[in-house]
Structure 1
């Protein structure tokens, strides 16, 4: 576990996970991933340069909810002049007072 404060909403967890991808913080990403879908390890060596996060939609995911969905668009740079967008609807679950990322569906 890292020194990050545990987010109180699914939206806040999405933002913290984006920051972790941007910063290459695999430990936080794994800690915030639900055990039912968490990979054994996460290699961020070839991680692109993440640039920005836009929250598109949020369904539930408040501090008192047990599930939530966060739709987002994240921009990243693959190579100079090659900027791309990841558009995903991510599912989250809250267990024992903590939000976890479960999985996501890539949107067109």
Structure 2
């Protein structure tokens, strides 16, 4: 995947820009990012915010090693499919963005 393809996938699945990074927001406090994708020139990193407010890198890969799953479309290589609760967090964020359009 390229940086643009990864960005397009993330935005279609509930991620939104917060500062300079695509982020998933905390449920019930949708102004606080708790998971973010850091997309650099040649690599992408997945970071999770620890309770003390610091970001911890949990996975990273070059774009050439990030391949979408043929059935789900979830990019492999960043650990997105192995983190507990990430799919439900993406669904919550996606639902909030969809319903925000109706207000």
TM-score range, shorter chain: 0.3 to 0.5
Q: Structure 1 or 2: larger helix share?
A: 2
TM-score using structure 2 length = 0.35
TM-score (normalised: structure 1): 0.34
Q: Which protein has the bigger strand share?
A: 1
